[in-house]
Amino acid sequence: MPPKTGRYSGYIRPFSYVVDILIINILANYMLDSTLNVFLYHVFITISWVVIALRVRFYEVYRFTKIIEIFESVLKQYFLFFLVNFAFIGFYLRFSNPSDIIKYITISIVLITVVKLSIYFSLQKFRVLFGGNFRRVIIVGADKKAKQLVDFFTHNPNYGYKLIEVYSLKNNHKKEEIDAIFNSIIDQKIDEIYCSMGEMTNHQVNLFIDFADNNLKVLKFLPDNKEQLLARNIIFDYYDYIPVISLRKIPLEEVQNKFIKRLFDIVFSLFIIIFLLSWLTPILALIIYIESKESPFFRQKRNGLNYEEFLCFKYRSMHRNDSADLHQVSKNDPRITKIGRFIRKTSIDELPQFINVLLGDMSVVGPRPHMVSHTEMYAKKIDKFMVRHFIKPGITGLAQTKGFRGEVETDHDIINRVKYDIFYLENWTLLLDIKIIFLTVYNALKGDKKAY
């Protein structure tokens, strides 16, 4: 089974948001007089700061980001924050001393820049001195571009890339030798693969793309004129001045989209928990206990984001049995209780997963999580099945609205489920989430033939 892909520095951006918002609010409290030191103004500067930051990508600082790019984002943030503050003050408060607000905004930006650069350089020192926050990489290729990237990784350890191996494919056309590279990638727990297009055939490119998708590895290319790349929605990054291509764009990897989706998940799940589960759970708990003498909740290990396991909550719909973690429910399954048949038919049994959403294990919309045993089985036989683990699983998903929910009766079912899941993760929008939710409710009300 493919190992989990490393994800790094997950708390750095949220930490930066909190620190920066504290700075602008604390300085406003001490530097501005009572005319501005009101609750409405503090709410305004907090919201406007976040919105501007998302717009100018203020917090999108990566290990390969140049210092000049950081200062460019600082200047954009300063200018826009300056404008919206004066617009607010002039429209609402008729503030008479502009020098105070100029001084406040300038000092705020200076302090925030110091914090931002401190985090940036501290991470670089941390990588060099302690060997932490590194990504293990290999390079496939030995041409000029590959050698430039080798030099970059070798002479810039502060960027956090640890070059493990360099392979050449100039005289390598045997699939067995490429398979040996793939086995080495898994054995050495490589995080990212960099391939020089100048040394690869179209067939080899496709082999590496399929391997990376099926093993949750990040794959990037040093560009060349390959037809199969020109037809894709490629993304260019620069490591120093070396162009690097990523093939798959995942909108939910962008901080503003991640923030929007998480905010929507929290608000929506709280609404369901407070106004539905709060009274429905006691009723169902009593009915379930009377029929089966069991706990109303059923917990099962599922695979989520980055293939990590979590406990997925459901209302109990079956009698306790030893095969619950091995076999999917089938039509007329004798394990299903009377109340279980009803709550499964109406999808009510899935409602406790809003607790998983609130905890951050799941999202309202996303690829449906499978039992651990089934994930292992499908990963071995279904191409690109593991790609769906690049984002959080959902209570409902695009595949479910297209008729591919419930029992997997043939490979056709799971292949189409994966197809729709990949389309979703590559084309996510909040409006798409809302559409899927409405379609899910509609299907539940009219009845789905695969709901059993």
The string of pLDDT tens digits covering residues 137-148 is: 999 988 888 888
Residue 3 lies in a domain: no
Do residues 313 and 298 share a domain? yes
Residues 292, 439: one domain?
A: yes
Query: Is residue 282 located within the same domain as residue 420?
Result: yes
Does residue 422 lie in a domain region?
yes
Both 332 and 220 in one domain: the answer is no
In a domain, 2, yes or no: no
Q: In this model, does residue 322 exceed pLDDT 70?
A: no
Asked whether residue 431 is assigned to any structural domain, the reply reads yes
Q: What pLDDT is recorded for position 198?
A: 78
Could you tell me if residue 169 is left (phi over 0), alpha (psi between -120 and 50 degrees) or otherwise beta? alpha
Q: Among the listed ranges 58-62, 161-165, 415-419, which one has the minimum average pLDDT value?
A: 58-62
Confidence of residue 161 (pLDDT cuts 50, 70, 90): confident
- Residue 262 located in a structural domain: yes
Question: How far is residue 400's CA from residue 393's CA, in Å, rounded to a whole number?
Answer: 12
239 and 315 co-located in one domain: no
Is residue 451 in a domain?
A: no
Q: Which of 223, 249, 275 is the last residue of a domain?
A: 249
Domains: count for the chain: 3
Examine the domain organization and report whether 300 and 237 are in the same domain: no
Residues 224 and 310 in one domain: no
Q: Of 249, 267, 298, which residue sits at a domain end?
A: 249
Q: What pLDDT was estimated at residue 121? A: 85
Q: State the pTM of this model.
A: 0.67
Q: In terms of domains, do 158 and 69 share one?
A: no
Specify the CATH number for the domain of residue 239: 3.40.50.2300
Are 314 and 271 within one domain? yes
Residue 415 counted as domain residue: yes
Q: Name the range with the highest mean pLDDT among 91-100, 221-230, 360-369, 377-386.
A: 360-369
**CB burial class (10 A; 0-12, 13-18, 19+) of residue 314?**
buried
d(CA 205, CA 212): 11
pLDDT in tens, 371-386: 888 888 888 888 888 8
pLDDT of residue 8: 46
Q: Quick one: 109 and 124 in the same domain?
A: yes
Averaged pLDDT, 225-238: 56
> Which of 249, 273, 300 is where one domain is finished?
249
Which residue range(s) make up the domain with 221?
134-249
Judged against a pLDDT cut of 90, whether residue 90 lies above it is answered with: no
> What pLDDT does 1 receive?
43
Compute the average pLDDT of residues 43-70: 86
Is the residue at 5 inside a domain? no
Asked if 119 and 209 sit in the same domain, the reply is no
Same domain assignment for residues 165 and 118:
no
What integer pLDDT is reported at residue 406 of this predicted model? 66
In this prediction, residue 230 carries a pLDDT of: 45
